[in-house]
Amino acid sequence: MLRRATLDNGLKVLVQEEHAAPLASVWCWYKVGSKDERPGLTGVSHWVEHMNFKGTTNIPRDQVKGIIEQFGGGWNGYTWIDQTTYLETATRDALDRMLFIESERMANCLYHPDDCESERSVIISELHGGENDPDQFLDQEVVATAFKAHPYRHPTIGWLSDLETMTRDDLYGYYRRYYVPNNATLVIVGDVDTDDALRGVERHFGGIPAGDLPARQRTVEPEQTGERRVTIRRPGTTAYLKAAFHAPAVTDDGFYALLVLDAVLTGAYGLNLWSSFRIPPPQRSARLYRSLVEKRIASSVAGSLLPTEQPFVYIVSVTATDGTPLADVEAALVRELDLAARDGITEAELAKAKAQLKARLVFDNDSVTNIAHQLGYFETIAGVDVFGGLGGRIAAVTRDAVAASARAVLAPSNRTIGWFDPEPVS
């Protein structure tokens, strides 16, 4: 059973006991991501995340790793468009140490100038690595083309000129503005006693003062009124195609209709950003697999519809087979998408998609780490009750709802087409 609490300083706490194994997972979530960045500071959320592994007032940098690994556990973190998060999963007797680490990370990170500079090089190298991956680079460019106004258009890693000019004061100021208890959710899942866990949270976090949160961005993306295109030509060996469509936020009923449609088109992925894409979806009966992969127009096809706080994009990604012109790939893809928009899906497809999505929801929660991730992720973007209602909202989707979603989302005026058209490698 999930227990919720809020400390006097505004820190939200979620605790769920899971006694199948003597493990505990702690995630600390901050409601800050790349959508909260302004031009000139793109990439700051991700850079700050990196800095918060560099030691604190009471944890020397070279000991951060060892504190958890001595308990046989693991630790990590990530930044995306709506959130930044940190985790530790270890044996249950490490719970107090995990809480200590996250309280230190919230209040006492150092931001030594030398560390800031060395990390600048690491992140710029990471950016260049992404740009050298054609599929990843095309994805970034398609999203930036699909959005004109909303900060979802900025890549989480940031734009190069911002990374080159950002200062230590920019980083530390951002950390102090957003890393406050009233902008955070702490999640504990595992073989713990809830009352003991809450006492530990109060002991470690209760003395950290609340902060004054900056105003949130209010830009609403204007409705797209015509197809947009981006073509990248660089040396390469493989051609890629992406079709992006503006899509609803996770709180919108249309999100779940589109989720079912994507399961019919590309196979059912889960809704766990941390783990879903590590498990391939069932694709053999998916429409785009049959029409593109089985017919050797494409070597792979995938859909991406992720739960977000505000309307984001649904992306269909296709890898062309060697020698197949991208114009032919696009024609085949558009033909299938237009068919879905015109005729919807069958009752049998609806039933199969729902069954597959139900199974994926189980995989999304197959460990204390994944359960804790889902509780914190959904609390950060929409409220934990949205997470609890996922199964019901998927089950309630009708064929008519899917048809309406297909007509609205897959409309030509709502799409952005991206090509990576490789030039010969010299």
Residue-level pLDDT, tens digit, the chain, 426 residues: 999 999 999 999 999 999 999 999 999 999 999 999 999 999 999 999 999 999 999 998 878 777 888 888 999 999 999 999 999 999 999 999 999 999 999 999 999 999 999 999 999 999 999 999 999 999 999 999 999 999 999 999 999 999 999 999 999 999 999 999 999 999 999 999 999 999 999 999 999 999 999 888 889 999 999 999 999 999 999 999 999 999 999 999 999 999 999 999 999 999 999 987 778 888 999 999 999 999 999 999 999 999 999 999 999 999 999 999 999 999 999 999 999 999 999 999 999 999 999 999 999 999 999 999 999 999 999 999 999 999 999 999 999 999 999 999 999 999 999 999 999 887
Between 3.30.460.20, 3.30.830.10, 3.40.640.10, 3.30.70.140, what CATH number should domain 2-205 receive?
Answer: 3.30.830.10
- The residue whose two tokens read 């980083």 is 171
| DSSP-H helix ranges across 324-383 | 326-343, 347-363, 368-381
Q: What is the pLDDT of residues 354-392, one digit of tens each?
A: 999 999 999 999 999 999 999 999 999 999 999 999 999
With CA atoms as reference, report the closest residue to 119 among 54, 66, 61, 177: 54
- List the beta strands (DSSP E) in 126-273: 184-190, 228-232, 240-246
Q: Name the segment(s) of the chain with CATH classification 3.30.830.10.
A: 2-205, 228-420
CATH superfamily label, 228-420: Metalloenzyme, LuxS/M16 peptidase-like (3.30.830.10)
Q: Can you give the pTM of this predicted structure? A: 0.97
Give CA separation, 170 vs 43, 164, 289, in Å.
11, 12, 46
Q: What is the pLDDT of residue 67?
A: 84
How many other β-carbons are positioned within 10 Å of the β-carbon of residue 137?
Answer: 18
Q: What is the pLDDT of residues 115-164, one digit of tens each?
A: 999 999 999 999 999 999 999 999 999 999 999 999 999 999 999 999 99
Share of the chain above pLDDT 90, in %: 93
